[in-house]
């Protein structure tokens, strides 16, 4: 089988903590105004990525908390959904991001919880699947968003959970993995979504942990990095999608952690901080969160512990009294 990979020779792998803090604090400010406008369509998620990463490496400290909460409020819609920026359409992805940010700020109880619940449950279809918004695209990533969002608000009982699980099961493939819809190929990102949703639902019993664990462990390449599917290049974000799933399944020792750390550290930007998808590319908050989050799962340096199911700090998940299922 064709294997694509990168070479890590002569790449600096020193942990650049202070630079990452500076990178995350300055993102979205004047320095990045141009990119910031270009990225308006996903700003709410961008804030979740950046703030979660900052929380993990900055002793749980997030600056400008009031301003951030005001921003969330400015993206609220009458139907209970949230948009990525004011004036855009609401979507389940950004509704989850808004709830995640509110949880990080310990202010989820100030959200219009009943309206959010109504919005999320209105997106569930008869077969248990979820659409992302009123336009009707079905994808297992939205199943994760719905279950994560409602469970963070203590409202998981407001949807048909058994049907949600049934739909996810219908997306399971012969290789143990999951895709976006029934019959779609297994994909690292969607496997995280499906296993994460099953972990929230307490239904990991339907996963074939050995077969799936094998497929996930096969994602590690000689560089130490993980890819999302066979024949793809390694990418730092799959250090989260794939590795956190192995962690949930109790099989994270099936890959070489030292090699994975090495690949993630090689993907730092030595100049301005932050992480990119792979060594030498431009850093961004998305890959910065997932690089730091994967390092957290490997107890690296003083990074605060993260929950593998919710991708939020453990302290937040404990405060909410949530106990997502994991296997040993």
For residue 174, what are its two tokens? 């012969």
Q: What angle do CA 284, 285, 287 make, to 5 degrees?
A: 75
| Residues between 204 and 243 with contacts to Zn ion, criterion CB under 5 A | 235, 237
What DSSP designation does 111 have?
A: S
Number of residues that bind ligand FPP (CB under 6 A): 10
| Spatial distance between the Cα atoms of 91 and 245, rounded to a whole number of angstroms | 25
Q: 158: how many CB neighbours lie within 10 A of its CB?
A: 16
Distance of CA 77 to the CA centre of its chain: 24
Beta bridge partners of 226: 220
When CB distances are held under 5 to 8 angstroms depending on the partner's kind, the choice from Zn ion, ligand FPP, none that residue 216 binds is none
Binding mask 90-119 for ligand FPP (x = CB under 6 A): ---x--------------------------
Question: Is 47 a binder of ligand FPP (CB under 6 A)?
Answer: no
Q: Which residue has the tokens 């992805």?
A: 93
When CB distances are held under 5 to 8 angstroms depending on the partner's kind, the choice from ligand FPP, Zn ion, none that residue 193 binds is ligand FPP
Question: Is 189 a binder of ligand FPP (CB under 6 A)?
Answer: yes
When CB distances are held under 5 to 8 angstroms depending on the partner's kind, the choice from Zn ion, ligand FPP, none that residue 277 binds is Zn ion
CA atoms within 13 A of residue 221's CA, in its CB half-sphere: 26
Among 108, 133, 252, 277, binds Zn ion (CB under 5 A): 277
- Pick the piece of the chain touching ligand FPP (CB under 6 A) from 30-38, 163-171, 186-194, 209-217: 186-194
- Pick the piece of the chain touching ligand FPP (CB under 6 A) from 67-75, 128-136, 165-173, 185-193: 185-193
Question: Is 263 a binder of ligand FPP (CB under 6 A)?
Answer: no
Question: Is 284 a binder of Zn ion (CB under 5 A)?
Answer: no
Cβ atoms of 235 and 228 closer than 8 Å:
yes
Shortest-Cβ-distance residue relative to ligand FPP = 189
Among 90, 228, 308, 313, binds ligand FPP (CB under 6 A): 228
Q: Which of 153, 146, 141 is nearest to 114 (CA)?
A: 153
Phi, psi of 266 (to 5 degrees): -70, -15
Least gap, CB of 228 to Zn ion (angstroms): 8
Least gap, CB of 295 to ligand FPP (angstroms): 16
Distance of CA 204 to the CA centre of its chain: 19
Cβ atoms of 72 and 78 closer than 8 Å:
no
Q: 315: how many CB neighbours lie within 10 A of its CB?
A: 16
Cβ nearer to ligand FPP, comparing 193 with 226: 193
Among 19, 20, 91, 141, binds ligand FPP (CB under 6 A): 141
Cβ atoms of 227 and 188 closer than 8 Å:
yes
Cβ nearer to ligand FPP, comparing 19 with 27: 27
Residues with Cβ within 8 Å of residue 271, at least 6 apart in sequence: none
Least gap, CB of 186 to ligand FPP (angstroms): 11
Binding residues for Zn ion, rule: CB under 5 A, are: 235, 237, 277
Binding residues for ligand FPP, rule: CB under 6 A, are: 93, 141, 144, 189-190, 192-193, 228, 241, 311
């Amino acid at each position: 089988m064709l294997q694509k990979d990168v070479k890590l020779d002569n790449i600096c792998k020193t942990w650049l903590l202070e630079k990452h803090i500076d990178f995350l604090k300055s993102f979205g400010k004047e320095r990045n105004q141009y990119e910031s406008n270009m990225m308006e369509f996903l700003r709410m998620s961008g804030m979740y990525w950046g703030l979660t990463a900052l929380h993990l490496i900055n002793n749980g400290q997030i600056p400008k908390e009031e301003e951030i909460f005001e921003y969330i409020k400015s993206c609220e819609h009458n139907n209970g959904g949230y948009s990525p920026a004011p004036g855009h359409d609401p979507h389940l992805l950004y509704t989850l991001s808004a709830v995640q940010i509110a949880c990080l700020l310990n202010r989820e109880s100030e959200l219009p919880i009943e309206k959010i619940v109504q919005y999320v449950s209105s997106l569930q279809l008869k077969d248990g699947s979820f659409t992302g918004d009123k336009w009707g695209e079905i994808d297992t990533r939205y199943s994760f968003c719905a279950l994560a969002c409602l469970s963070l608000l203590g409202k998981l009982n407001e949807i048909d959970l058994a049907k949600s699980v049934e739909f996810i099961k219908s997306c399971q493939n012969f290789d143990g993995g999951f895709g976006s819809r029934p019959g779609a190929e297994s994909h690292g990102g969607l496997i995280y979504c499906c296993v994460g949703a099953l972990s929230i639902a307490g239904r990991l019993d339907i996963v074939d942990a050995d077969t799936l664990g094998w497929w996930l462990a096969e994602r590690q390449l000689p560089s130490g990095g993980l890819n999302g599917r066979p024949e793809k290049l390694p990418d730092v974000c799959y250090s989260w999608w794939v590795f956190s799933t192995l962690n949930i399944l109790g099989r994270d020792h099936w890959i070489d952690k030292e090699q994975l750390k090495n690949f993630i550290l090689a993907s730092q930007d030595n100049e301005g901080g932050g992480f990119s998808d792979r060594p030498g590319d431009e850093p961004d908050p998305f890959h910065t969160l997932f690089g730091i989050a994967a390092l957290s799962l490997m107890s690296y340096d003083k990074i605060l512990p993260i929950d593998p199911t919710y991708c939020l700090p453990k302290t937040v998940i404990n405060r909410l009294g949530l106990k997502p299922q994991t296997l040993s």
